[in-house]
Amino acid sequence: MNEYVPGLAGVPATKSNISSIDGEKGILAYRGYDIAELAANSTFEETALLLLNGELPTSKELESFDRQLRGERRVKYNVREIMKYLPPSGRPMEMLQTAISSLGMFYGGDDILTDAYEEEDTYFIHSMSVKIIARMATIVAMWEHVRNGYDPIEPRSDLTHAENFLYMMKGCDPDPLEVRIMDACLVLHAEHTINASTFTAMVTGSTLAMPFLVIAAAIGALAGPLHGGANQRVVEMLDEIGRPENVEDWLDMRLADKEVIWGMGHREYKTKDPRATVLQKLMADYAEKKGNLSPMFETALALEEACEKVLGVKGVYPNVDYYSGILYTEMGLPADQFTPIFAVARIAGWMAHWREQLDNNRIFRPTQIYTGAAPRAYVPIDKR
């Protein structure tokens, strides 16, 4: 195939049995299980193990995996010291990439991957998956305190993954509804086929790079506003609009200037992103518990309705970023931590694809269409 396809849009890069998307019907499934069912009935721990191993675990398997995760939440003080010397005003995703890549110096050990994928690799891959999934959440929560000049809060092994993350972020026992919402958000963001960051992890993993470097590369891809950074842009956009009554004039002006409507549209979906539907329901439940609808949520509902009238015919509907940022804002989480929280969830999918890539590994080496100069002779500098 010599045809150039910008962004590799629609070009199959691998075979995978981890997740699937039906963009016409608005269906996302992990290992065949509909995302709405998983968000309603599963937990992040169970979903992560499903993604890693391919089947819903037995109670014994889940208990073992959960125990492993709880036992790997702590990080060495050296990592905390590295974080203390980073600029407090720095971007959290850059901190996260730095901290995750540094873990390889402290937890790498002597194990290496073999090109033939031997039995020892299976244990190493699972062990690294547990360590990185557990510590990603710890590092993101630690930064919230370190950047404000405080020592981070120690993780607790008596809490679930979502409970512990919120506890470490806020420094108090989290509200049960917020825990349920966070758990569902982690499930919803855990995997989404071969997106930019997952593909980055696969390419890096195909070189047999060590897992902390694989994930550091994926974090770099996720950091961009066209990928994981969009939910923060949604909140900024809704703040700019202000109130529901401002929506139509704002939208008319935005469309006239051909500017992006953040959180609207997805390359894979021709209907509403199924994850956005679940998040909207969670936001409604949260608002009902609080006893009022937040102005931001009201504005978002009004904007979605207005956008559907003019953009729905083009297959442009809310994506996962549209409501996730609103939920996190209502829960008191800082806007610049939204993308790191995305990484806390997506690490499960990254590790699953890393493992799948290594099952039948071949280093990625795409070709190109050369558009440069024809062969020519070197010209000495005094004759140019």
> Which residues have a catalytic role annotated?
266, 321
Mapped onto helix, strand or coil, the DSSP state of residue 88 is: coil
- Assess contact for 96 and 135: CB atoms under 8 A: no
CB neighbours of 266 closer than 8 A, spacing ≥ 6?
23, 273, 317, 319, 320
* Strands, E assignment, the chain: 19-22, 27-30, 33-34
Chain position carrying tokens 């990080």: 75
Give residue 326's Cα distance to chain centre: 16
* Distances, alpha carbon 312 to alpha carbons 49, 256, 302, 305, in Å: 36, 17, 14, 10
DSSP string, 157-191: TTS-HHHHHHHHHHSSPPPHHHHHHHHHHHHHHS-
Buried b (16+ CB within 10 A) or exposed e, 337-366: bbbbbbbbbbbbbbbbbbbbbbeebeeeee
